[in-house]
Structure 1
Amino acid sequence: MPVVESRCVVPVEVAVAFAVSQTQGAIRKRWDPFIRRQHLVGGATVPGKGVRTWTVQRFGFAMESEYVSYNPPSNVGMKMTKGSWFFERMGGGWRFSPAEGQPGHTLAVWRYNFTCRPRWLAPLAERIGVLVLQRDIDRRIAGFARGCSDPVVLAHVAGTPAA
């Protein structure tokens, strides 16, 4: 199963980094270049284990995913429940921990795994998928890092209006 990973250190505490990663709506779109639209499914109003999300990616591909773990402020895990025809399986996890030797900073490590279909095409499709998803996860975590420095995003997660 192919795996892609990206990591960065952000200048906020772990709880703040986690909160930024779980923002929704317009605040999420300020930092997340991957998302065109995203919402929680089934009447849920906050993320949590078992909660599903519907995401439309910037090129229009849509996917429903479910939180398989939700452990603030350290990690979340997701798996695709419905999605594009070419993914047989897709999952991911985002981990947040204190950055070693950098007080007040957080190491964010995001990892995705997937398999493609049809099986006969999977060896080629998965090599291409690694390249495409690596670029996307790198862009996404860079956006997350910008969000962790964005006063509007930080004010939102702190519950205060931005100056």
Structure 2
Amino acid sequence: MPVVEASVIVPVPPDVAFAVSQTVAPVRYRWDPFVREQHFVGGATRPGKGVRTFTRSRHGFTMISEYVSFAPPSNVGMKMVAGPWFFTVFAGGWRFTPAAEPGHTVATWKYSFHCRPAPLRPLAHRIGRWLLGRDIRRRIAGYERGCTDPVVLAAARASLADQDELD
């Protein structure tokens, strides 16, 4: 199964880095160039294992994805439940680990996918690696900018405070 991956070091600790990655509209649109529309489905109001989201990409494609793991501040994983016809499988994972420099985080994002139809799969996988590779690099660069954006950081820190109150 093809995989694309991108990493960046951001100047915030892992808990804030994770929280930035989970910001929702409208704050998310400040940093995420891939997402044109995103919201929770099924009555959920915050991310978590089993929660589903609707996403419309900058390409116009839509996908319903489900969180298969949610372990702040270290990782989050999702899988496609419904999406573009050309994917038989699409999944992603985002990992956050402390960087060598204190107060910084290594963010690593990885997507795996499988395309159809079978006769075109070799070509589709090459195109997918190129397109998704380009998108993941743009997206993580936007995330890196978000980790220095005062509005995004304020929203991320507020979500951490809200979570602390729930715990």
Equivalent residue for 1:77? 77
Per-residue deviation, residues 109-149 of structure 1 (Å, max 9, x unmatched): 00000000011111100001000000000000000000000
Matches of 2:118 and 2:53 in 1, distance apart?
Answer: 27
1:120 is paired with a residue of what secondary structure?
A: helix
Post-superposition offset of 1:156? 1.3
Equivalent residue for 1:47? 47
Post-superposition offset of 1:105? 0.2
Post-superposition offset of 1:157? 1.6
Matches of 1:115 and 1:98 in 2, distance apart?
Answer: 31
Q: Percent identity?
A: 65
Equivalent residue for 1:20? 20
Equivalent residue for 1:96? 96
Post-superposition offset of 1:158? 1.9
Residue type of the partner of 2:45? T
Per-residue deviation, residues 3-36 of structure 1 (Å, max 9, x unmatched): 0000000000000000000000010000000000
Scaled by the length of structure 2, the TM-score of the pair is: 0.94
Equivalent residue for 1:5? 5
Task: Say whether 1:108 aligns with 2:102.
Answer: no
Task: Say whether 1:37 aligns with 2:41.
Answer: no
Task: Say whether 1:134 aligns with 2:139.
Answer: no
1:25 is paired with a residue of what secondary structure?
A: coil
Residue type of the partner of 2:44? A
Task: Say whether 1:159 aligns with 2:158.
Answer: yes
Matches of 1:28 and 1:77 in 2, distance apart?
Answer: 18
Residue type of the partner of 2:113? F
Task: Say whether 1:67 aligns with 2:41.
Answer: no
Higher relative helix content: 2
Equivalent residue for 2:165? none
Matches of 1:96 and 1:117 in 2, distance apart?
Answer: 32
Residue type of the partner of 1:105? H
Is there any run of 5+ residues in structure 1 with no aligned partner, and where?
Answer: none
Matches of 1:156 and 1:120 in 2, distance apart?
Answer: 46
Post-superposition offset of 1:159? 2.3
Matches of 1:56 and 1:76 in 2, distance apart?
Answer: 20
Task: Kindly report the root-mean-square deviation, in angstroms, between the aligned alpha carbons of the 2 structures.
Answer: 0.9
Matches of 1:95 and 1:65 in 2, distance apart?
Answer: 18
